[in-house]
Amino acid sequence: MNIIKILHYTLGLPPYRTGGLTKYATDLMISQQKMGHEIFLLYPGQINLFGKEKISENKNFKGIWVFELVNPLPVPLRGGVINPTAFMKPLSNQELFKDFLNSINPDVIHVHTLMGIHCEFFDAANNLGIKTVFTTHDYFGICPTVNLFKYDSKACIDYDEGLGCAICNSNSYSLPLIRIMQSHLYKQMKNSSMIKSIRSRRSRVQFSEPNTLQEPHISKPNLLQYRAQYFRELRMYYGDILRKIDLVLYNSSTTKEEYEHYYSLKGKVIPVTSYNIKDNRQVKKYDENSILHITYFGPLEKYKGFFMLCDALKILLDKGVTNWELNVYGNGSEISLKGIAEHVKYHGRYQFNQQGDIFEHSDLVIVPSLWKETFGLVALESLSYGVPIIISKLVGAKDFVQNNDNGFIVEPNAECLTQVFARILNNRNILSKMNNNICSGDFDFSIENHVKRILDTYKYIEKDNSK
């Protein structure tokens, strides 16, 4: 085996950074390192108001060399972009990335997010002839709020020459708040009760009706048009970055379709996975007379379809159908759900070592997202335990679901969900057959097989010297 040097650019490491992107990138790096490859990590770190950009070496992580980009561009996560010009700020230290890349001399750069990194980073890679790949975990290069989901709870299909972005980002995180969230102090305090409370309140404000955007001498319509031009420039900035990348690895056909709606890029679909995805499939028994245990994983947010799911379950109750319960796992405080509260159990955040017990007591997992979710790892986790799923047709992980075979692919609305629930509740044999289909099929989603596929992809990237 040829040993190669791989530089990953991602948001950071757990526990400071969480979520599917962080988990995937971390699992991939650790697996590559265990195979004998030399792995480097660069992440966007703290912002010092009056300092130049620099790259500092951090403590080694499980055999991975870790470097912090100090004074990166802002990292808004899902907080939106209030000032587009700050996200396009030119690099002041023009030799920074060239010197860094020369010092570690990677064979390939694997990018997992466009947040925080300058366009000049990709210029330096191209000038040095280093291969670059980008795995799509969200839509940040297209959508400043990352999920193509508008404030009015509808999927974004047209950014309206920047006007749509100006409206959706009007309640975005301020730059001082983003600087605080990128500080080392915040990293230490992130999981404190005080910070969690502030974050929860700020999230509710961000996804409410856009504010009036009052500024002196500019009416609201004119101000929106004024700000739209900067969002057009931001779109072009990230478009320029994407065109500098040698190969885009789309994590689903859904993601590929959305990116190709805006850009013509060289790419291929390679579904993501994680270290925790093992073949844990078991044949389950479904009793017609037992309560149907429905499981939902994720935040209690509109874009994840949680409230639409609750509406569907309320329709069941209104029809006198009561032999079910909803188990909710994930972030967020308990919500008082009028009409169905006694049928909902909140379990809060869970650890991966609890998955076996959770799926053992799950008859059905639901992924009801209203946004065009790029993947949805929980769907793959569910199938790995033999549990059938109901999945919105907008979710990328539907690539692995055969409708009426190992799960249901549904329109993202309460009426369609209610119809599927009613079918299952009237005939549990449907779930039994699906469980048997899942357990008898092939299973090829291990991190080991995935890493081999990624390494093969690196090998066959051809540099486009005309860029």
Question: Which range among 183-192, 229-238, 364-373, 380-389 shows the weakest confidence by mean pLDDT?
Answer: 183-192
Give me 368's structure tokens.
């009801």
**Assigned domain for 147 exists:** yes
pLDDT at 206: 45
Are 350 and 358 in contact by the 8 Å Cβ rule? The answer is: yes
pLDDT at 189: 65
374 shares a domain with 313: yes
**Assigned domain for 199 exists:** yes
**Percentage of the chain modeled with pLDDT above 90:** 73
Identify which has the larger pLDDT, 106 or 197.
106
- Give strand pairing partners of 56: 68
Give me 271's structure tokens.
């579904």
What CATH number should be reported for the domain holding residue 339?
Answer: 3.40.50.2000
Mean pLDDT value across residues 116-130 = 97
323 shares a domain with 249: no
302 shares a domain with 266: no
304 shares a domain with 213: no
Indicate the number of domains in the chain. 2
What sign results for the dihedral spanned by CA atoms 396, 399, 403, 405? Answer: negative
Confidence of residue 215 (pLDDT cuts 50, 70, 90): very low
**Assigned domain for 205 exists:** yes
225 shares a domain with 354: no
Give me the residue label for tokens 């920047």: 162
pLDDT at 160: 87
Question: Which range among 200-204, 355-359, 386-390 shows the weakest confidence by mean pLDDT?
Answer: 200-204
**Assigned domain for 464 exists:** no
**Assigned domain for 283 exists:** no
Element (H, E) at 95: none
**Assigned domain for 409 exists:** yes
33 shares a domain with 131: yes
* Beta-sheet pairing, 65-70 with 54-57: antiparallel
**Assigned domain for 282 exists:** no
Q: Which amino acid is at 99?
A: D
Are 445 and 273 in contact by the 8 Å Cβ rule? The answer is: yes
CB-side neighbour CA atoms (13 Å) of 221: 0
| Range list of H helices, 263-373 | 306-318, 355-360
pTM confidence score: 0.90
Question: d(Cα 354, Cα 362) in Å, to the nearest integer?
Answer: 13
Question: d(Cα 4, Cα 2) in Å, to the nearest integer?
Answer: 6
Please check the confidence at residue 205 and state whether its pLDDT lies above 60.
no
213 shares a domain with 90: yes
Mean pLDDT value across residues 369-396 = 95
Beta-carbon contacts of 170 under 8 Å, excluding residues fewer than 6 positions away, are 82, 210, 211, 213
Quick: pLDDT tens for 7-56. Answer: 999 999 998 898 889 999 999 999 999 999 999 999 999 998 777 899 99
Quick: pLDDT tens for 285-318. Answer: 998 889 999 999 999 989 999 999 999 999 999 9
Give me the residue label for tokens 């939106």: 80
Question: d(Cα 95, Cα 125) in Å, to the nearest integer?
Answer: 12
Give me 35's structure tokens.
């195979």
Q: Which amino acid is at 196?
A: K
315 shares a domain with 241: no
pLDDT at 266: 93
Range of the domain at 424: 292-440
Are 65 and 39 in contact by the 8 Å Cβ rule? The answer is: yes
Confidence of residue 192 (pLDDT cuts 50, 70, 90): low
269 shares a domain with 182: yes
358 shares a domain with 235: no
Give me 437's structure tokens.
């289909």
Please check the confidence at residue 333 and state whether its pLDDT lies above 70.
no
What sign results for the dihedral spanned by CA atoms 401, 405, 406, 411? Answer: positive
Closest CA to 389 of 349, 351, 354, 430: 430
205 shares a domain with 85: yes
- Residue 195 burial (10 A CB sphere; 0-12, 13-18, 19+): middle
Angle subtended at Cα 253 by Cα 252 and Cα 256, rounded to the nearest 5 degrees: 95
**Assigned domain for 420 exists:** yes
240 shares a domain with 340: no
